[in-house]
Structure 1
Amino acid sequence: MPNRSPGQLFGGVLLLLSSLSLYAEDKAVQPEQSWFSKVSNWVEHELERLGADGEFNPDDGIDWTAVPGPFATPDSGFGLGVSSVGLFVVDKEDTVSQPSSITLTVFGSSKGNVGLDLDTQVFLKEDRRRLYIWGVAEKVNDVFYGPGIRDGQRNRNKHSFSLDTLLVNSKYMFRMAPAFYIGAGASLGQNNVKGSVESHQAQPPTSSAFPQDVRTAGATFHAMYDSRDFGLNAKRGRLLQADGGFYTSSADRRHNFRKLALEYREYQAIGPGVLAFQLASEFKFGDVTWDNMTKLGGEDRLRGYTTGRYRGRQMLMSQVEYRHDLPGRHGMVYWLGAGTLGLDVSDLGSEPWIHTVGLGYRYELKPGVNLRADFAWGNGDSGIYVGVNEAF
């Protein structure tokens, strides 16, 4: 869904109701307080009607669940999003592959933000083949502050505009050894700035630094070691991943650049929960347009910062998160994170680091698939994120 802010209510309501419900289960409450449990039970009942029964039946074909979530931000206005997750198996005789999934999110808001996001993961032939497809079709209010952390921290650098985005990425992976895969894919994208660019400066950025109609195509190559038990919400295992690509952008002129992304994730059971760790870097070389710069912020990479505020050609970040279950289908998470950007690889660490801290509520919709409401705080920024699946 689009950027969120503390004005969003849905996550807070769910967190409050779940806490009150758990309190009612563990304590003897007074009769006048019993309405809390009634309201919480009603929320759970309505979610179950939408498919959030906490079970997965492969005989149902694609076993869907859908979760609505209202939101409100200064840039988006008031809006409503619906996140849907469908679990399925391609071959019922395949007892090795984990369930495949389709995650679909649609949203609209009073200020004209509309969009559809798709993320598909398909596991085939006893996990010897994997297909990943993800895409975005959005019209949203966006911001550009310039490259780097320091530019992003200067409010006078803010440029606001409406952005139309169409993006499709895919990759197909072959297992070469236990838990080790290689593959290739393709990337196609288009970004169009619509209307005038509102700037806090006297003039908006020049067309050479801010081309307003960019089409990008790329060929991608991938290597991955993945021993996780379930990709959407791992309880144990490890992910080591390298993604490379060669890209061409057509804008005011032709732009050619290359990308290398490296990522390490680890999941360990500790006490009553799971400790999840992520270390990620992304390096881009060549003539990178503003819309192809790597972003920090949003609902996955350093929650608590406005998406688009922090962009750069080189990126380094890390997050650590503790996840634990509560009675019933409830759970909580707590995390810390930090990241930085640079113009060149040698610049990484020379710009300031930005940090995030937060906590979140989880409600199990399907086995391993959670509704999440995350409350995040950063350096002078904050956010609330409601959706499905984990940040990493």
Structure 2
Amino acid sequence: MQKILPFIIIFLWSSGICSQIKSKDSIAKSKADKNVDFNVMPYLNYNRTLEFMFGAIPMMMYKVNKADTISPKSLSGISAVYSTNKSYFIASFNKWYFKEDTWRGQLFFATGDQNAQFYADDIDVPGFYDYSTKTTMVNFSLQRKVIQYLYAGIGYAYAHYNTNYQDNVEPTSVTHTNGLQLNMMYDTRDAVYYPTKGSKIKLRWLNYPEWFGNDVTANKILSEYNTYFPMQNGTDVLAARFAGKFGLGNIAFEQQVTIGNEDIRGYSEGKYRGDGLMALQGEYRYNFNKRMGLVGFAGVATIYGSDTKSFDWGLYPGAGVGYRYRAFKSEKFNIGLDAAVGKGDWGLYFRIGEAF
């Protein structure tokens, strides 16, 4: 019953949020001609590591230039989340589209204190150990269209971590990184927030050189391939994704990747951690209403560079279902909730936008 209770609570909350947003939409109808669509999303979630999380996410969609009929709407928002294990996060996220979609920019800022856990087996008592990381990070990127569908650009990523480990299983560490980014994207999607056809291929190289204020040199290569197929005369969507995150060189503990989140849902304990991962997944998006829908998804991931060598190159499947609700009347942009199971693990995921 204890395992089922979080699902019941989240389901009741998601039902309540629909009625709340619906009343806001009736007010927004008379303001449809405005350039800015604004909404406040309550946040409630449960995680096996962070426990219950709650907060608020005010966000808006808008045109950078009202006369620009080609660029998608830009998105800006702030999220403030607190968890019952005394973690907190404050973040600002922005996606900008301007100059008739010739330029695309992103800015992300976050600060917080995460109380989480990791798995260690190279000590006297193998098992999960708690750690706390105070984090501040900034990530900015800018892209320009080179030819039709192809974008290229540069970016900068800064992060500062202060990590303390339970029972001193690892020494306290203070790490800061400055990363330079080169990125390319080939984008044939018919919409950026809810594509029904087309593909997105994205490749990013992040370099952390010593001459740029880093303690050691490291590199990360992030790749993804998402493709979308219209189903049921365009009412539904079949989506598929490959993601590869490759850490090269001296990857800090905080820079490692864990299986979970969008690749692959169903893992929330933070057990499977390494320098890189690869994941394949598919998702069917069933829209039974103009404002509501359901999704079903399944996939498999693998990792390498784990401190627990037996985890390397294992297969870690995940599958689940989710609920979607259209947050803005003027734009197909969903919020939702996913429930997924993995290998000896499970997770709940509150979504702002689609998983991919």
TM class by shorter chain equals 0.7 to 0.9
Match of 1:276 in 2: 239
Q: CA deviation at 1:248?
A: 4.6
Using the alignment, how far apart are the partners of 1:307 and 1:164 within structure 2? 19
Q: CA deviation at 1:44?
A: 3.8
| Preserved CA contact (<8 Å) 1:227 1:239 | yes
Deviations 1:94-123 (A, max 9, x none): 111111112432111343221113321100
Match of 1:36 in 2: none
Is residue 143 of structure 2 the alignment partner of residue 173 of structure 1?
Answer: yes
Using the alignment, how far apart are the partners of 1:44 and 1:307 within structure 2? 29
Is residue 349 of structure 2 the alignment partner of residue 375 of structure 1?
Answer: no
By percentage of residues, which structure has more strand? 2
Using the alignment, how far apart are the partners of 2:316 and 2:82 within structure 1? 30
Is residue 223 of structure 2 the alignment partner of residue 291 of structure 1?
Answer: no
Is residue 108 of structure 2 the alignment partner of residue 134 of structure 1?
Answer: yes
Is residue 300 of structure 2 the alignment partner of residue 338 of structure 1?
Answer: yes
> How has the CA–CA distance of structure 1 residues 358 and 56 changed in structure 2, closer, same or farther, with 3 Å as cutoff?
farther
> How has the CA–CA distance of structure 1 residues 331 and 249 changed in structure 2, closer, same or farther, with 3 Å as cutoff?
farther
| Preserved CA contact (<8 Å) 2:49 2:268 | no
> How has the CA–CA distance of structure 1 residues 285 and 12 changed in structure 2, closer, same or farther, with 3 Å as cutoff?
same
Deviations 1:182-223 (A, max 9, x none): 1001000011124xx225xxx613x3xxx5211011110001
Q: CA RMSD in A?
A: 3.0
Matches within 5 A, 1:50-61: 50=24, 59-61=33-35
| Preserved CA contact (<8 Å) 2:187 2:199 | yes
User: Structure 2 counterpart of 1:159, which letter?
Assistant: Y
Match of 2:175 in 1: 214
Q: Describe the SS at the equivalent of 2:11.
A: helix
Matches within 5 A, 1:349-360: 351-360=313-322
TM-score between both structures, scaled by the size of structure 2: 0.87
Q: CA deviation at 1:230?
A: 2.3
Matches within 5 A, 1:162-201: 162-194=132-164, 197-198=165-166
Q: Describe the SS at the equivalent of 1:309.
A: coil
Using the alignment, how far apart are the partners of 1:283 and 1:168 within structure 2? 21
User: Structure 1 counterpart of 2:132, which letter?
Assistant: S
Q: CA deviation at 1:73?
A: 4.6
Using the alignment, how far apart are the partners of 1:183 and 1:52 within structure 2? 40
Q: Describe the SS at the equivalent of 1:93.
A: coil
Q: CA deviation at 1:7?
A: 2.5
Match of 1:32 in 2: none
Q: Give ranges in structure 2 of 5+ residues lacking alignment.
A: none
Q: Describe the SS at the equivalent of 1:254.
A: coil
User: Structure 2 counterpart of 1:177, which letter?
Assistant: I
| Preserved CA contact (<8 Å) 1:144 1:308 | yes
> How has the CA–CA distance of structure 1 residues 328 and 263 changed in structure 2, closer, same or farther, with 3 Å as cutoff?
closer
| Preserved CA contact (<8 Å) 1:318 1:338 | yes
| Preserved CA contact (<8 Å) 2:43 2:81 | no
Q: Give ranges in structure 1 of 5+ residues lacking alignment.
A: 18-39
Match of 2:274 in 1: 312
Q: Describe the SS at the equivalent of 1:46.
A: helix
Q: CA deviation at 1:349?
A: 10
| Preserved CA contact (<8 Å) 1:342 1:348 | no
> How has the CA–CA distance of structure 1 residues 5 and 304 changed in structure 2, closer, same or farther, with 3 Å as cutoff?
farther
Q: Provide the aligned length of Structure 1 versus Structure 2.
A: 344
Q: Describe the SS at the equivalent of 1:339.
A: strand
Is residue 185 of structure 2 the alignment partner of residue 224 of structure 1?
Answer: yes
